[in-house]
Structure 1
Amino acid sequence: MPRAIVLTNPTSGKGRGARMRDEALPRFHGAGWRTTALTGRDADEALDLARVAAAEEPDVLVVCGGDGMVNIGIQAVAGTGVPLGILPAGTGNDFARYFDLPRGDGAAAAVRILHGAPRTVDLARIADRYFGCVLAAGFDAVVNERANRMRWPRGQMRYNLATLAELPVLRPLRYVLELDGVERQVEATLVAVGNGPSFGGGLRITEGALLDDGLLDVVLIKPLTRRELVRTYPKLFDGSHVTHPQYERHRVRRVTVACSGIVGYADGERFGPLPLTVESVPGALQVIA
Structure 2
Amino acid sequence: MPGEIAVLVNPAARGGRSRGLLAPVLHRLRQGGAEVSVIVGESADDALERACTAVAEGPDALVAFGGDGLVHLAVQAVAGTDVPLGVIPAGTGNDIAGALGLPRKDTLEAADIVLRAEPRTVDAARIGKDEWFAGVVSCGFDSRVNERANRMTWPPGMARYLVALAEELRSFRPIPFRIDLDGEIVEQEAMLVAIGNTHSYGAGMRICPAAVPDDGLLDVTILGAVPKGEFLRTFPRVYRGTHVTHPAVVTRRARRIALEAPGVVAYADGERVGPAPFVCEVVPGSLRVLT
TM bucket, shorter chain? over 0.9
User: Structure 2 counterpart of 1:50, which letter?
Assistant: A
1:74–1:237 CA distance, 2 compared to 1 (3 A): same
- The SS at the match of 1:82 is coil
Match of 1:196 among 198, 207, 221: 198
Deviation at 1:117, TM superposition (A): 2.1
Q: Which residue of 2 aligns with 1:171?
A: 173
Q: Which residue of 2 aligns with 1:35?
A: 36
User: Structure 1 counterpart of 2:230, which letter?
Assistant: E
Q: Which residue of 1 aligns with 2:67?
A: 66
1:149-228 residue pairs with structure 2 within 5 A?
Answer: 149-153=151-155, 155-228=157-230
Larger mean CA deviation between 203-212 and 10-19 belongs to: 10-19
Q: Which residue of 1 aligns with 2:130?
A: 128
Deviation at 1:178, TM superposition (A): 1.0
Larger mean CA deviation between 156-165 and 107-116 belongs to: 156-165
- The SS at the match of 1:260 is coil
1:119–1:151 CA distance, 2 compared to 1 (3 A): farther
Q: Which residue of 2 aligns with 1:246?
A: 248
Deviation at 1:114, TM superposition (A): 0.9
TM-score by length of 2: 0.95
Contact 1:156–1:201, Cα closer than 8 Å, also in 2: no
Residue-by-residue CA offset, 1:123-154 (whole Å, 9 max, x unaligned) = 11011210011111111111111222234455
- The SS at the match of 1:137 is strand
Aligned mates of 2:156, 2:65 — CA distance in 1: 18
User: Structure 1 counterpart of 2:264, which letter?
Assistant: I
Question: Across the two proteins, how many residue pairs are aligned to each other?
Answer: 289
Match of 1:271 among 259, 265, 273: 273
Deviation at 1:251, TM superposition (A): 0.4
Q: Do residues 81 (structure 1) and 70 (structure 2) align?
A: no
- Percent identical pairs in the alignment equals 47
- The SS at the match of 2:103 is coil
Q: Do residues 140 (structure 1) and 128 (structure 2) align?
A: no
Task: Give the gaps of 5 or more residues in structure 2.
Answer: none
Q: Which residue of 2 aligns with 1:231?
A: 233
Deviation at 1:162, TM superposition (A): 2.2
Q: Which residue of 1 aligns with 2:97?
A: 96
User: Structure 1 counterpart of 2:52, which letter?
Assistant: R
Deviation at 1:23, TM superposition (A): 1.6
Contact 1:133–1:194, Cα closer than 8 Å, also in 2: yes
Residue-by-residue CA offset, 1:85-137 (whole Å, 9 max, x unaligned) = 11111122111111232334332221111122212111110112100111111
Contact 1:125–1:278, Cα closer than 8 Å, also in 2: yes
Aligned mates of 1:256, 1:215 — CA distance in 2: 14
Q: Which residue of 2 aligns with 1:257?
A: 259
Larger mean CA deviation between 67-76 and 145-154 belongs to: 145-154
Deviation at 1:179, TM superposition (A): 1.1
Q: Which residue of 1 aligns with 2:26?
A: 25
Aligned mates of 1:62, 1:116 — CA distance in 2: 12
Aligned mates of 1:269, 1:216 — CA distance in 2: 18
Contact 1:253–1:279, Cα closer than 8 Å, also in 2: yes
- The SS at the match of 1:44 is helix
Larger mean CA deviation between 176-185 and 25-34 belongs to: 176-185
Deviation at 1:201, TM superposition (A): 0.7
Residue-by-residue CA offset, 1:168-212 (whole Å, 9 max, x unaligned) = 112111111111123231111111111111111111111101111
Deviation at 1:42, TM superposition (A): 1.0
Deviation at 1:156, TM superposition (A): 4.5
1:117–1:152 CA distance, 2 compared to 1 (3 A): farther
Aligned mates of 1:91, 1:145 — CA distance in 2: 19
- The SS at the match of 2:101 is coil
1:233–1:160 CA distance, 2 compared to 1 (3 A): farther
Q: Which residue of 2 aligns with 1:56?
A: 57
User: Structure 2 counterpart of 1:77, which letter?
Assistant: V
Q: Which residue of 2 aligns with 1:10?
A: 11
Q: Please provide the CA RMSD for this pair.
A: 1.5
TM-score by length of 1: 0.96
Residue-by-residue CA offset, 1:240-286 (whole Å, 9 max, x unaligned) = 10110100011001011100111111111111100010001101111
1:131–1:59 CA distance, 2 compared to 1 (3 A): same
